[in-house]
Amino acid sequence: MQEVFFQQCSDFFQSSWVTNNGACVQKLEKSLAEYLDISNIISCNNGTTALMLAIQSAGLAGKKVAVTPYTYVATLSALLWLGCTPVFVDVEPDTLCLSPHLLRRRLLKQADIAGVLPVHIYGLACDVESLDTICREQGTTLIYDGAQAFGSRYKGKSLLAYGDYSICSFHATKIFHTAEGGCVISHTDEAHKELSLARAFGHIGDTHYCLGINGKMSELHAAMGLALLPGTDAEIEKRRKLHAAYDAALGSAKLIRPATREGMEWNYAYYPIFLSDEDLLLKVQRTLTAQGIYPRRYFYPALNTLSYLRPEWKISCPVAEKAANHALCLPMHGDIDQEHVKIITNILLESL
């Protein structure tokens, strides 16, 4: 892995072509298209820019967009930076993905909602069939935030293949990464062309085509991706085993876990547990942290409760709010071994 990285670095170093769609970026985009079996994919400098590019390309800037409150804050910030009005729609209690039933109700009440932004939370699939049907019926654009979904598959296809657009993050915390990075996937050649332009300031030479931004991935980041991509399946397999080890050790505690949809092949990126109350969660977090183990409160707080939102945007979303107060993700990485699992789960079981 390191050899591939150093070889790629040496190549671009010698050519002095270190950014602006260099050889590594082009190779990485081709390799990602093959790995995911998706053709219209462009790399970006991070997942947040990828979201902004998709929202802008879909013509949603400045409009109302239905969005899940149970996600990382970047999903929402991308909308806000583009002047969109977020319309929070609560999540399903079992999968914690945006509820199609509540979405339909909201779209029927508010005909001016122009787009929908659900998240494949923890890399688990949204109800893509229902969301697709609802968005088609209502003429609403569907953008999936698949930041956490690299390597997850549903009904034989990459989860990133669903929706009018979808995005992924290649941040260092993700299953496949480029240190910082991301991508946008679209399904028409027009959108693909526009996204490629918009990612690089919207112009070629002196001809300006559309509003752009600097969303380019550098050669250094792409080299990292080229080195890590071949190991992705092995990383997923290690995490699958780690999940099984956590499950076996924690089985007696009967912890609540999110549901996986039938037809789903998960990337096992996270190991979320839901504790019965927030005081217990804080106690478990404190105890583990005192031992140098850092579980994360993914995803806290529910975004509809953020202090800086306009009061009229803070629609109550009880399922997301409860989940946000009770969710804790245990350490999850291919390098964690059975001994670590034993230490972590023993501390956890004692705290419980």
Ligand X SMILES: Cc1ncc(COP(=O)(O)O)c(C=O)c1O
Strands of the chain, DSSP E = 41-44, 64-67, 85-88, 113-117, 141-145, 153-154, 157-158, 165-169, 182-186, 203-204, 207-208, 264-265, 271-274, 327-330
Q: Which is nearer to ligand X, 153 or 171 (CB)?
A: 171
Q: Which is nearer to ligand X, 147 or 348 (CB)?
A: 147
Q: Which is nearer to ligand X, 51 or 61 (CB)?
A: 51
* # binding residues, ligand X (CB under 6 A): 14
In whole angstroms, what is the distance from residue 120 CA to residue 118 CA? 7
Nearest to 33 by CA among 186, 218, 154: 186
**Which listed residue (29, 90, 127, 145) binds ligand X by CB under 6 A?**
145
Q: Which is nearer to ligand X, 147 or 250 (CB)?
A: 147
Asked whether the beta carbons of 166 and 141 are under 8 A apart, the reply is no
Is residue 171 involved in binding ligand X (CB under 6 A)?
yes
**Which listed residue (12, 28, 47, 242) binds ligand X by CB under 6 A?**
47
Q: Which is nearer to ligand X, 141 or 169 (CB)?
A: 169
Nearest to 138 by CA among 109, 166, 160, 161: 109
- Tell me the residue type at 118: P
179 — phi, psi (to 5°)? 75, -70
Nearest to 55 by CA among 68, 46, 64: 64
Is residue 74 involved in binding ligand X (CB under 6 A)?
yes
Is residue 182 involved in binding ligand X (CB under 6 A)?
yes
**Which listed residue (147, 161, 236, 242) binds ligand X by CB under 6 A?**
147
Write the DSSP assignment of 185-233 as a string of letters: EESSHHHHHHHHHHHBTTEETTEE-S---B-PPPHHHHHHHHHHGGGHH
Q: Which is nearer to ligand X, 48 or 250 (CB)?
A: 48
**Which listed residue (46, 158, 285, 304) binds ligand X by CB under 6 A?**
46
Asked whether the beta carbons of 217 and 25 are under 8 A apart, the reply is yes
Distance (Å) of CA 50 to CA 77, 190, 230: 12, 17, 23
Is residue 163 involved in binding ligand X (CB under 6 A)?
no
Q: How many helices (H) and strands (E) does the chain have?
A: 12, 14
Is residue 72 involved in binding ligand X (CB under 6 A)?
yes
Is residue 144 involved in binding ligand X (CB under 6 A)?
no
User: Which window, 45-53, 61-69, 107-115, 343-351, contacts ligand X (CB under 6 A)?
Assistant: 45-53
Is residue 158 involved in binding ligand X (CB under 6 A)?
no
Taking the complex as a whole, the smallest distance from the CB of residue 44 to ligand X amounts, in Å, to: 8
In whole angstroms, what is the distance from residue 139 CA to residue 164 CA? 12
Is residue 177 involved in binding ligand X (CB under 6 A)?
no
Show the binding pattern over residues 100-139: x = contacts ligand X (CB under 6 A), - = does not: -------------------x--------------------
Please identify the residue of the shown chain whose CB is closest to the bound ligand X. 47
Residue 67 pairs in a beta bridge with 88, 117
Taking the complex as a whole, the smallest distance from the CB of residue 79 to ligand X amounts, in Å, to: 11
**Which listed residue (48, 141, 285, 304) binds ligand X by CB under 6 A?**
48
Is residue 169 involved in binding ligand X (CB under 6 A)?
yes
User: Which window, 26-34, 140-148, 232-240, 245-253, contacts ligand X (CB under 6 A)?
Assistant: 140-148
**What size, in residues, is the chain?**
352
End-to-end CA distance of the chain: 40
**129 contact partners, CB below 8 Å, separation of at least 6:** none
Is residue 90 involved in binding ligand X (CB under 6 A)?
no
Q: Which is nearer to ligand X, 72 or 271 (CB)?
A: 72
Residues binding ligand X (CB under 6 A): 46-48, 71-72, 74-75, 119, 145, 147-148, 169, 171, 182
